[in-house]
Amino acid sequence: MASPMRSLLTDPARYLQSFRLFLEKSTEHQSMREFMEKQLPTLIASIGNGKSTINILSVGGGAGEIDLLILSKVQARYPGVTINNDVIEPSADQVLKYKERVAETSNLENIKFTWHEETAYEYESRMNAEKKSKKWDFIHMIQMLYYVKDIPATIRYFHSLLEAQAKLLIILVSGTSGWETLWKKYGSSFPLNDLCTYISSADLRRMLDSAGLKYQFYELPSHMDITSCFTEGNKDGELLLDFLTETREFSKTAPPELKRQVMEELKKPECSEKRDGKVLFNNNLGVIVIEP
């Protein structure tokens, strides 16, 4: 009998709903913001040296929350310099949110935004077809490598677009996170199909090492409150379970035994810790900064 389990990505509206709830219930953006405040200024200190224009490429820019923070740090380092910020983002809904956010933000006068409503692979194919290979001073891929078909090829391509002083910044879930435990154990039971691949910063580092690329690594502590997942029928809990398993309506469609095992796993110390009556899932992030 065919499994009724479907990838969450087959329902883009529900995916976005669960993703936004995840951001609300986790310290994901808080952790990234702290990194951008403390570490990013040093990392971008020489990307624009001697340049009148700085070119930045955001791959999977989402609704732009983190992008605008990155841009503010580049502006602080290179005041008055023109910045071209190109955004690759396949979700029309996210692009719309990004544009609204830009419209509501001040001090963006010297930044020119260009949105490409397409996937990273579509962008690469289009550039190759147009025989273009524009170089960039800073490229970032934040929490998006799960959605590309060929991860090493994608990294190779964007790495080839770096200028001499540029950096490629990638953020993924860490190899020490609850995601790693959950997905290494149950990933094969979830309906991933070809829309999503599980990869952690540990996997990525192995790829980069075998490709001989130089990089710096940072670990960011983060957690997500998944307490609601343990209340049967709780709407938020169901959405978070969907997000954790990348499965649409996981609690309704998963075989009972799989659901029982996943719920047990989520409570284990390898995945979560109990604090003040809450279950906090380990959402640690890995940041990898690749040299040209």
Q: Along the chain (292 residues), what's the average pLDDT of each consecutive run of 10 residues? A: 79 93 96 97 96 97 96 96 98 96 96 97 95 94 93 95 97 96 93 78 96 96 98 96 95 95 97 97 98 95
The pTM is what? 0.91
Predicted pLDDT at 240: 97
Please state the residue numbers annotated as binding site for substrate: 28, 283
Predicted pLDDT at 133: 84
Predicted pLDDT at 1: 44
Q: What number of residues does the chain have?
A: 292
Predicted pLDDT at 193: 64
Q: Residue type for 168, please?
A: L
Q: Is 60 left (phi over 0), alpha (psi -120 to 50) or beta?
A: left
Please state the residue numbers annotated as binding site: 28, 283
Q: How far is CA 171 from CA 29, 135, 168, 204, in A?
A: 11, 21, 10, 10
Q: Which two tokens stand for residue 31?
A: 């952790």
Predicted pLDDT at 132: 85
